[in-house]
Amino acid sequence: MPGRPSRAEHPSPEQARPAGLEWIVLKIAQRCNLDCDYCYVYNRGDTSWLTRPTYISDRVTRRLAERIAAHCRDRGLTEFVVELHGGEPLLLGRRRMQRLIDTLRGICAPAHVRVMLQTNGLLLTGDWLDLFARNGMTFGLSLDGPPEIADRHRVLRGSHEGTTERLLDTVAALRAQGPLFDELLGGVLCVVDPAAHGGELVRWFADQGFPDIDFLLPDGNRVNPPQGWTGPEPYRRFLLEAFDAWYGGGPRAARVRLFELMMLSLLGRGNSLDALGGDLKGLCVVESDGSIGISDVLRICLGPYAHDSLNVFDHPLDAHAGHYRLDELQRPCATCLACPHFTSCQGGYLPHRFDGTSFSNPSLYCEALYALSARMTEALETDLPAAAWQPEAA
Ligand code: SF4
Ligand code: SF4
């Protein structure tokens, strides 16, 4: 799963509040062994991946490391996060992966580069887990649920064969080797298919031993809607089913980052999750050719948003915020600012707000997010004494 910051590590509310750029998503491989129908890299109209090197080169890695080092020096940062994405990042191979990590850490020292990775898991082996452990890395796994749900979308490139049974077998084999798989697994990313029952899916993940999950709404907007889009209602139903199962699940329930962060917002803790209108200035995407972009999911908006005009050779890393006018782009619209659920929803994910000319709109998923926020507010009002939480409209 490319794109958004992964669940390679479940961030604490504090971690989810970047003050400036301190995190990059690094696209180290532009190819993937899967061909998921919802994938914004390959199947949503943007073809920029075809123009980039298949794998990141040592030259780009070194220049990127120099940029990170300079950024950390200038900002007084002692740590910087590099999250490895693809396509499928494991296609890089272990030898090149180790060299990449050594280069980043060698050049950036004394600042520490924390490395995380998001994978579809099919190429995972015990040797990969050893590499992660040696390098203090965590990883996030992309898994949309049981085969009858996930195989509708997550198929092998070329053969269109389902992949989920194979992934679950891989997970079982790695777990049989010892505790490393679960120790290094930061969480599971699940793209919502509203054909599924949200509550059953929450319970399935718990039964499979995945205690940290997150739901992603499929990427799309008013001019480039998700495949099979019939409106937000199926997503509203799914999210409410999932929330009810999670909230009522007791200690056995998996953590669901989307729900946790929305509820923490309602309790006055705030959040900067990108899917909930978080400030994208804390993050940029660096492609295998060294191009610097905002969230690469914005490429589903096509036009100028599918073209990067900055790169690590000519520009500092945090030039992206000014160059792409991020403050202006991500400013919530008047409808969202007046919404009683703005605290928890914050207008939703930026690429989902686009209408062909501007981002100054509620999310494509507005009705679903509104209903979810309302359900959460109701739950808090029912279960907590009034003094313990901060109502949204207050
Ligand atoms: S695993 Fe699927 S969603 Fe992720 S990069 Fe490959 S095709 Fe895209
Ligand atoms: S629920 Fe809708 S109107 Fe309210 S903040 Fe979210 S996207 Fe905006």
Q: Give the CATH number for residue 125.
A: 3.20.20.70
What tokens were used for 80?
């910087």
Rounded-to-integer distance, Cα 372 and Cα 378, Å: 10
Q: Is 336 in the pocket of ligand 2 (CB under 6 A)?
A: yes
Number of domains into which the chain is organized: 1
Domain assignment present for 342 = no
For ligand 1, say whether the CB of 86 is within 6 Å of any of its atoms.
yes
- Residue 249: asked if its preceding bond is cis (omega within 30°), the reply is no
Atom of ligand 2 nearest to the CA of 348: 7
Residues of the chain above pLDDT 90, percent: 75
Pocket lining: 210 vs ligand 2, CB cutoff 6 Å: no
Does residue 59 belong to any structural domain of this protein?
A: yes
Going from the Cα of 363 to the center of ligand 2, the distance in angstroms, rounded, reads 7
Which helix (H) or strand (E) is 316 found in, with range?
none
- pLDDT of 18 above 80: no
Which residues are registered as beta bridge partners of 140? 118, 187
**Dist. CA 55 → ligand 1 center (Å):** 16
* 159 in any annotated domain: yes
* Residue 372 forms part of a structural domain: no
For residue 36, how far is its CA from the centre of ligand 1 (angstroms)? Answer: 6
pLDDT on residue 12: 41
Residue 246 within any structural domain of the chain: yes
Task: Tell whether omega for the bond before 110 is within 30 degrees of 0, i.e. cis.
Answer: yes
Indicate if ligand 2 lies below 6 Å from the C-beta of 342.
yes
What is the residue type of 219?
D
> Is 373 part of a structural domain of the chain?
no
Q: Please indicate whether residue 88, judged by its CB atom, sits closer than 6 Å to ligand 1.
A: yes
Q: Is the CB of 337 under 6 A from ligand 2?
A: no
* 190 Cα to the center of ligand 1, angstroms: 12
Q: Closest-lying ligand to the alpha carbon of 43?
A: 1
The answer as to whether 336 is a domain residue is: no
Q: Is the CB of 87 under 6 A from ligand 1?
A: yes
pLDDT band at residue 55 using 50, 70 and 90 as cut-offs:
very high
Query: 138-142 and 255-256 as β-strands: parallel, antiparallel, unpaired?
Result: unpaired
Q: For the ranges 200-204, 357-361, 379-383, which has the lowest average pLDDT?
A: 379-383
Is there an atom of ligand 1 within 6 Å of 36 CB? Answer: yes
Atom of ligand 1 nearest to the CA of 191: 3
Based on its alpha-carbon atoms, the radius of gyration of the chain, rounded to whole angstroms, reads: 20
Asked if residue 308 is part of any domain, the answer here is yes
Q: What is the pLDDT of residue 251?
A: 73
* pLDDT value at 309 more than 80: yes
Closest residue by CA, ligand 2 atom 3:
336
Question: How far, in Å, from the CA of 345 to the mean position of ligand 2?
Answer: 6
Can you tell me the mean pLDDT for 7-29? 66
Query: In which domain, by residue range, is 58 found?
Result: 23-331
pLDDT at 85: 96
Question: Of all atoms in ligand 2, which is nearest to the CA of residue 373?
Answer: 1
What is the DSSP secondary structure assignment for residue 145, as one 8-state letter? S
Over range 5-28, report the average pLDDT: 63
Tell me how far apart the alpha carbons of residues 183 and 251 are, in angstroms, rounded to a whole number.
Answer: 19
* Backbone torsion region of residue 167, taken as left when φ is above 0, otherwise alpha when ψ lies between -120 and 50, otherwise beta: alpha
Q: How far is the C-alpha of 40 from the C-alpha of 3, rounded, in Å? A: 8
- CB of 11 within 6 A of ligand 1: the answer is no
Looking at mean pLDDT, say which of 14-28, 40-54, 293-307, 359-373 comes out highest: 359-373
CA distance 68 to 53: 21
Q: Which amino acid is at 337?
A: L
Question: 327 C-alpha to center of ligand 1: Å?
Answer: 29
The whole-angstrom separation of Cα 29 and Cα 221 is 26
Ligand 2 near 345 CB (within 6 A): yes
Ligand 2 atom closest to residue 365's alpha carbon, by position in its atom list: 7
- State whether the beta carbon of 335 lies less than 6 angstroms from ligand 2: yes
pLDDT of residue 9: 45
The sign of the CA dihedral 151, 152, 156, 158 is positive
Q: Residue 176's pLDDT is what?
A: 98
Residue 4 has pLDDT above 60, yes or no: no
Distance CA 270, CA 60 (A): 36
88-92, 225-229, 246-250, range with the lowest pLDDT: 246-250
- Ligand 2 center to residue 353 CA distance, Å? 10
* pLDDT, mean of residues 122-149: 98
Residue 272 in this model has a pLDDT that exceeds 90 = no
Q: Which residue has the higher pLDDT, 60 or 280?
A: 60
Asked if pLDDT for residue 314 goes beyond 90, the answer is yes
How far apart CA 83 and CA 94 sit, in angstroms, is 16
Residue 149 Cα to ligand 1 middle (Å)? 16
Cβ of residue 362 lying under 6 Å from some atom of ligand 2: yes
User: Counting ligands in written order, which one lies closest to the CA of residue 3?
Assistant: 1
